[in-house]
C-alpha cells in the first residue's frame, strides 16, 4: 500500500484595513449625541414656566401617573398627570410685609407686659408668662411652676388671677385682626387611673377654659380659629415631669402664615 502524499495547508492573513471600518466609532458618536441631547433638554427645561417644570419633575418621580389608560392620578378620584404648581403657592412671602407684621406683634407683646407690671396682684404669675415672636406669629406661653399654677390642681378650673391675666391679654389681642390658636399642654405624669379622662382631656379642657374667658373679655367674634389639646406630646423642657411642661399657649397667627395655609388647603 502506497503512502499518501503530505497535505499542505496555506493560511493567508487578511490585511489590516478592516480596523478602519469597525463599529467602535459608532458607540463613541452615539454617546456624544446622547450627551448633547441631554444638555439641550436641560437648557430647554431651565427656560420653561414652573408649571412645565412641575410636570416634568412629576413624570420622573412617578411615570405611572401619566398613563391615561391605567391611572387616574396620584390620589383616588384624581385626574391623570401632575397638576402644576400655582403661582400663589410658589411665590415667596414678602419679607417687608412679614417684618412689619412681626413688629406689630412685638409691640402688642410689649403692651401686655407693661399692663402686667402695673398690677401688683399679678406679681407671682407674670414671671411665668413668656412671649416670643416668630414667622408663625406671636406665641404667649402661660407656664406653670412648682407651687404656682394658673389652674386648680388636676382641674380645668382657672384661678382668679389667671382669669384676670387672660382678660388683660384678650383686650390687647382683640385690637388685632389676626387669628388666634389656643393650645393646652401637660407633663408626662399620668393624670389619673381613669381611662375615660386623662392628660389628653385635661389639656383640651384647659385650652377651652382659656378660650371661654378670652372670648368673653375682648377677643373678636370668630377670632379663635382652633383649640387644641396636646397632652404631653409637645414638651416645653427635656424633663417630661418638669411642671413647666404644664402650660397654655396662645398663638396669634401672622397673616402671612394664614395666607400660606389657605393657599395650600385650597388645592382640590
pLDDT per residue, tens digit, the chain (268 aa), is: 455 666 666 666 655 555 555 667 787 888 888 988 888 888 887 777 666 666 666 656 555 544 544 444 434 444 444 444 454 444 556 777 778 888 999 999 999 999 999 888 788 888 899 999 987 899 999 999 988 899 998 899 999 899 999 999 999 999 999 999 999 999 999 877 677 889 999 999 999 999 999 999 999 889 999 999 999 999 999 999 999 999 999 999 988 777 766 666 655 5
Please indicate, yes or no, whether the overall pTM of this predicted structure exceeds 0.75: no
| Phi, psi (degrees; rounded to nearest 5) at 231 | 50, -125
Per-domain residue ranges of the chain = 17-85, 95-263
Give CA–CA dist 104/246, Å, rounded: 28
* CB neighbours of residue 180 within 10 Å: 26
**Superfamily name and number for 95-263:** OmpA-like domain (3.30.1330.60)
Q: What does the pLDDT look like over 158-185, one tens digit per residue?
A: 998 999 999 999 999 999 999 999 999 9
Cβ atoms of 146 and 241 within 8 Å: the answer is no
| pLDDT at position 74 | 38
Q: Provide the grid cell at 17.
A: 484595513
Cα-based angle 133, 162, 195 (whole degrees, multiple of 5): 95
What nine digits make up the cell of 157? 378650673
Looking at residue 10, the DSSP 8-state letter turns out to be -
Amino acid at each position: 500500500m502506497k503512502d499518501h502524499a503530505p497535505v499542505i495547508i496555506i493560511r493567508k492573513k487578511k490585511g489590516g484595513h478592516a480596523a478602519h471600518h469597525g463599529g467602535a466609532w459608532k458607540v463613541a458618536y452615539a454617546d456624544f449625541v446622547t450627551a448633547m441631547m441631554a444638555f439641550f433638554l436641560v437648557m430647554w427645561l431651565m427656560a420653561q414656566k414652573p408649571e412645565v417644570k412641575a410636570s416634568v419633575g412629576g413624570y420622573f418621580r412617578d411615570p405611572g401617573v401619566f398613563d391615561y389608560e391605567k391611572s387616574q392620578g396620584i390620589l383616588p378620584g384624581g385626574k391623570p398627570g401632575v397638576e402644576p404648581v400655582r403661582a400663589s403657592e410658589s411665590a415667596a412671602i414678602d419679607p417687608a410685609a412679614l417684618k412689619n407684621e412681626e413688629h406689630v406683634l412685638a409691640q402688642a407683646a410689649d403692651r401686655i407686659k407693661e399692663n402686667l407690671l402695673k398690677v401688683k396682684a399679678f406679681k407671682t404669675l407674670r414671671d411665668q408668662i413668656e412671649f416670643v415672636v416668630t414667622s408663625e406669629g406671636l406665641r404667649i406661653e402661660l407656664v406653670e411652676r412648682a407651687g404656682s399654677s394658673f389652674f386648680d390642681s388636676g382641674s380645668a378650673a382657672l384661678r382668679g388671677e389667671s382669669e384676670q391675666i387672660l382678660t388683660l391679654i384678650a383686650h390687647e389681642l382683640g385690637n388685632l385682626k389676626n387669628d388666634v390658636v389656643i393650645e393646652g399642654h401637660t407633663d408626662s405624669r399620668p393624670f389619673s387611673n381613669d381611662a375615660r379622662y386623662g392628660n389628653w382631656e385635661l389639656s383640651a379642657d384647659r385650652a377651652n377654659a382659656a378660650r371661654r374667658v378670652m372670648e368673653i373679655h375682648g377677643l373678636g367674634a370668630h377670632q379663635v380659629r382652633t383649640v387644641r389639646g396636646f397632652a404631653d406630646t409637645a414638651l416645653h423642657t427635656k424633663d417630661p415631669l418638669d411642671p413647666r411642661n404644664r402650660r397654655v399657649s396662645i398663638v396669634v397667627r401672622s397673616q402671612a402664615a394664614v395666607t400660606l395655609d389657605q393657599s395650600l388647603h385650597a388645592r382640590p
